[in-house]
Chains A and B, each alone.
Chain A
Amino acid sequence: MLFALPLFPALAGLAIWAAGDGGRRRLGAMAAGAAAVTLLLAVLATAQGWTAGHDWGAGLVLRLALTPLSAAVAVTVPAVAVAVLVFAAAHEEARGLARLLGLMLVFCGAMLLAVTAADLLTLLIAWEVMGFCSWALIGHRWRDRANPASGRYAFVATRLGDLGLFLAVMATWAGAGTLEFAALGRLDGPALSLAAFGILVAAAAKAGQGPFAPWLFRAMDGPAPVSALLHAATMVAAGAYLLARLHPWLAPVPGWSGATLALGLVTALAGGAVAVMQGHAKRLLAGSTSAQLGLMFVAVGAGYPGIAVAHLVAHAAFKAPLFLAAGIAGRAAGSYDLGRMGYQRTLPWVAALTAPAALALAAVPPMGAAWTKEQIVAAASHASLWSGVGVAVAGALSAAYAARFWWLAFGPRGAEPETRPRRAEIAALGALSLGCVALGALWLAPVRATLRFAPLDAGAAEMALSLGLVGCGVLAGLTLARRGASPPPVAADWLGLPALIQHGIVAPFERAARGAARLDDTVLDAIPRGAARGARGLARGGRAVWGAMQIDRGGIDAAVWRIAEATRGLARLGGGHGEALADGLPEGTARIAGQGGADARRLQTGLSHHYYAMFVIGTALAILLLIGGLV
């Protein structure tokens, strides 16, 4: 039954894509309707505790189940998708709109499959299908070659991480004989470590952590709604979700929690710094996504997966509207250059509706995201004082880039928009903004009591320090923004990481591949060519021998004649039917053979010595091998 949850949006998406481009409204209504039904299914599935299993073959079973953690994400995904699809239908070019909306639904389906997966094979399937969707969606406007190239970059980068999941699948099966998540608990030693770190790599790749961060920048070549979906609900969020879901089995692995926490913290700080420097509206948000996902990694590493998922939901609620707003501003400015924006006066509604999301990103109370971020600070402090301070500093950075983003994009500079957003776009933005504000309820104790995990009590001093840092961050961000968007420093491109990857990995690999191809054409192909040449030499020798044998012609000739005579005798024996048959057979054969011969003639001229050569070699080899083999 639970299969309905991932399959419905996926099939609906394929159907919308197949039906082709209709009117904007019709397509938007169908896509958003499908997402709404999916939301309904998610709520139903959670309420009734659906599960599912499907016999895949070879003793492997695909299992689906919902835990409280996965239920929270399973509801978030379609909820965000409804608004994003409405926006996309109104915002994007009409050409290819059906494909765009359809694939976004498929993307949601794949994400829901990952969220409901209860075994590693199902997870791997969902994980890779998400990679495909990201490829197709990032390259959506394929007529510009740069876009599909970015899609390919994203696919290959995340697939590199998928190999970690492959390793986890392989190690788990080898160690436990099955693939359900619980089997991870039956592993020990190197197999468990391999599985745990493999999963960490896979999660880090999808979530744009550490060395995998640059693909998120390249992914910005996709349409704005795609970015909203990718960062808020699917793909990127999947990385953090996976670690939270598998935390009980992975946490006991030596070094795993520490590595997760360190990776998250480093990415949170580096991503924050990159976002503060960026002058491209969407890349700024992309840097912030890496940083926010880093915070979730910190929470998991510190041992609080529930907090990580709470921040995941809060992040989805503010990141989606921010990307939609960036899409509107980018369309209005004709580019995503923050220096050309500033629409508070000309697009007041958009500016006002984006403000709550920006405040949430900055983690300013009473936004819900502020509460979840403070929880992460508290969680990190439990792990160690320094990681707590690190998270608080990352929080200051996020306050700075959030303030800078809003001020540059929607501040009172008075830029004139080239185009104005449609009403549906503003409505979608507003709905998400509203959700963002509603999450502020997390500050209320009765609401908190309904959560499935016990919130941490942050100390007053800790809280004061953290909120003080947020305040400083906001001020710094506004100051930076007032100074205008100066051309971003080189370091804004992920601290030079993409260049390092290009020159350290991609280019050397391409050179090596070209070298290998040349080697293949020259050295490896020399084996048969050498053999042929040797054979030709042998054949020449053979011809000389044959010539010598010709001298003794008489004996051979006599033998041939005797055979001929015997044949003639046989022929004389066959009369009547025998003759007819004997005639028919060769004639029929001859006709077929003639055809073959005619074909052969067209090919063979002048090359027959190859044949002889091969024959001689073959015979020699045969004799040698037989002698060797029969000894």
Chain B
Amino acid sequence: MLTFAILLPFAGAALLASAPLSAGQSRLAAILVAALSLGALCVVWAGFIPGAGFQAVQEAPWIPPLGVAWRVGVDGISLPLALMSGLLFVAAIAWPMEREVNARAYYAWFLFLEGASLGLFLTLDLLIFYVFFDLSLVGMYFLIGRWGHGDAPRAALKFFLYTLAGSLLILLALIALVLSVDPLSFDMRDMIALQPVAGMDLRAGLILLGFVLGFAIKTPLFPLHTWLPPAHVDAPGPASAILAGVLLKMGTYGLVRIPMQMLRETFATYALALGVVALASILWGSIVAFAQDNIKRRIAYTSVNHMGYAVLGIAVAGSAVTGQEAARDLALNGAVIEMVAHGLITGALFLIAGSIWARTGTYEIDSYGGLAGRAPRLMGAMGLASFASLGLPGLAGFVAEVQIFVGAFAVWPWLAAIALLGLIVTAALFLGMLQRVFLGERPPALDGFADLTRTEFGVLAVLLGLVVLIGVWPAWLIDMIALGGG
């Protein structure tokens, strides 16, 4: 079933690339394929037993001498991420195109990217993980470069090269890691069970460094985040939503799956350092976001802040502070929920930013004002997403952040206490943006501004509905993750 969920979008992409379909037909076909893929994931979810390790496993040998095989399976960490990604892809594909050129190729690339993304979250083989990691760059590169606006080719290239450098580091670390097991194996489960480099100081440290740097670029963490804002600003809205919602999660998911789980001992040694970097991301991301006058840049920098929370949770979870197992589980819980919540919330925010651009052609906050009167539904969606992003209780972001903070405090009190300051800055920056774009006097140029269309509203309603659901009733998601006592 998981294999089906991964291969279906690839097949869909190939179909769209070769079959002569019209723009409307391509869109419908792409929505159908993405929805089927999501449906397959839901089937797996229906049979999923929380807390029982990897499930729905499928295995087919591929390169037996190297121990490479097509292995897929899910646990409580990858399933929520895969489901969220599947949903976000349906949303992004259903969202109207910004520049309606070459629709067939646009949807084909989206499906290609979906296949790569789902593959990354679902595979249990390190080599295949790496392949999907790189394929996702390719898909996003074309989406930004061809359907973006402004200086899109340049932004796309920067994104590609910067993250490619990260993925090369991952490749090196991966080879070094795999070479240390005998017989050769790329099976993630083996790696988690064997802890291959435990006790090898220098070598384990270098491998860890390679992975962490690579994933830190992708996440992105301070100070390796400067590829993110231009990529977002010039990307079309739906691609931005996927970039923030799905691709950034590859970095944090990778951190959990590989360094934290496979290099447990080494990771614990350096967990505090990672926590400090996460803290820097939390503060730097929010402070720099505060000073941005461009809607998309502002949201993009808040991603650095939010991913900082997630990495803080991961660092806490991976620290081997004894006697704090419950706190570490809580923090990891929070980190996984942060990933899901950030995907839904920031995905929605970028879709909204895209819809604003589609109507006026600018992201400059100062050219707006008073839109609430013309576009109450847009205001409602943006308000809800903004408050969710700044961590209002009753919405998904709070559920994640409170667990991360509480867990982190038990392990590193000072770090957690300082990280709280991020909450203030994000509150100020989101409310400032809402106020400047939607409230106050409306410039006459915006008199013809149209509210959300039915499609846009429907898509946002689904995403934000989930944000509210997780916020008021988080138990189902926490149970799915099922860590520790849960």
Contact = CB atoms under 8 A, between A and B. Distances in A.
B272 interface: no
B427 interface: yes
A503 B327 CA distance: 40
B210 A163 contact: no
A142 B427 contact: no
A617 to B, nearest CB: 8
B441 A145 contact: yes
Contacts, number: 204
Contacts of A177: 326
A50 B86 CA distance: 43
Contacts of A171: 409, 413
Contact of A159 (B370, B398, B427): B427
A145 B287 contact: no
Contacts of B157: 603, 607, 610
Given A173-B409, A513-B287, A132 B387 contact: yes
B410 A174 contact: yes
Contact of B439 (A124, A148, A167, A520): A148
A174 B413 contact: yes
B461 to A, nearest CB: 13
B432 A142 contact: no
B478 A145 contact: no
A291 B485 CA distance: 47
B126 interface: no
A431 interface: no
B158 interface: yes
Nearest to B284: A516
A145 B437 CA distance: 11
B288 A599 contact: no
B394 interface: yes
Interface stretch (A363-371, A470-478, A619-627): A619-627
- Pick the most buried of A144, A169, A171, A625: most chain B CB atoms within 10 A of its CB: A625
B393 A129 contact: yes
A174 B288 CA distance: 32
Interface string A62-74: 0000000000000
B402 interface: yes
Contacts of B431: 135, 151-152, 155-156
A514 B287 CA distance: 8
B172 A143 contact: no
Nearest to A164: B420
A512 B287 contact: yes
Contacts of B477: 57
Nearest to B477: A57
A167 B417 contact: yes
A57 B478 CA distance: 6
Interface residues of B, number: 87
A459 interface: no
B113 to A, nearest CB: 13
B406 A513 contact: no
A122 to B, nearest CB: 10
A148 B406 contact: no
Nearest to A628: B206
Interface string A591-631: 11001100110110001001000100110011001101111
B165 A125 contact: no
Contacts of A554: none
B224 interface: yes
B46 to A, nearest CB: 20
Contacts of B432: 152
Contact of A58 (B108, B145, B333): B333
Contacts of A145: 369, 435, 439-441
Contacts of B402: 121, 124, 166, 169
A520 B432 CA distance: 21
Given A520-B288, A610-B157, A621-B169, A527 B372 contact: no
Contacts of A57: 399, 474-475, 477-479, 486
Contacts of B288: 513, 516-517, 520
A169 B226 CA distance: 35
Interface in B355-403: 369-370, 372-373, 387, 392-394, 398-399, 402-403
A163 B17 CA distance: 53
A472 B484 CA distance: 66
Given A532-B161, A610-B157, A603 B146 contact: yes
A463 B338 CA distance: 58
Contacts of B222: 524
A600 B105 CA distance: 12
A59 B210 contact: no
Contacts of A531: 165
A628 B478 CA distance: 42
Given A57-B474, A592-B18, A621 B410 contact: no
Contacts of A513: 287-288, 290-291
A20 B66 CA distance: 66
Contacts of A524: 222-223, 225-226
A629 B207 contact: yes
A56 interface: yes
B175 interface: yes
A525 interface: yes
A169 B423 CA distance: 15
A595 B108 contact: yes
B236 to A, nearest CB: 14
Contact of A142 (B171, B225, B372): B372
A156 B176 CA distance: 49
Nearest to B383: A136
B180 to A, nearest CB: 9
A625 B206 contact: yes
Given A145-B440, A625-B172, A626-B172, A169 B290 contact: no
- Pick the most buried of B172, B227, B292, B438: most chain A CB atoms within 10 A of its CB: B172
A170 B409 contact: yes
Contacts of A167: 417, 420
A462 interface: no
Given A57-B479, A143-B373, A516-B291, A599 B406 contact: no
Given A143-B441, A167-B420, A527-B226, A592 B14 contact: yes
B389 to A, nearest CB: 13
Interface in B166-204: 168-169, 171-173, 175-176, 179, 202-203
A595 B288 CA distance: 39
23 contacts: A56-B475, A57-B478, A58-B329, A58-B333, A58-B478, A59-B485, A152-B428, A152-B435, A166-B420, A171-B413, A512-B287, A513-B288, A517-B291, A520-B284, A591-B17, A599-B109, A607-B157, A621-B169, A622-B171, A625-B172, A625-B176, A626-B176, A629-B172
Given A528-B227, A621-B172, 12 more contacts: A57-B399, A124-B402, A142-B372, A142-B439, A143-B440, A148-B434, A162-B423, A166-B405, A170-B409, A520-B284, A527-B226, A614-B161
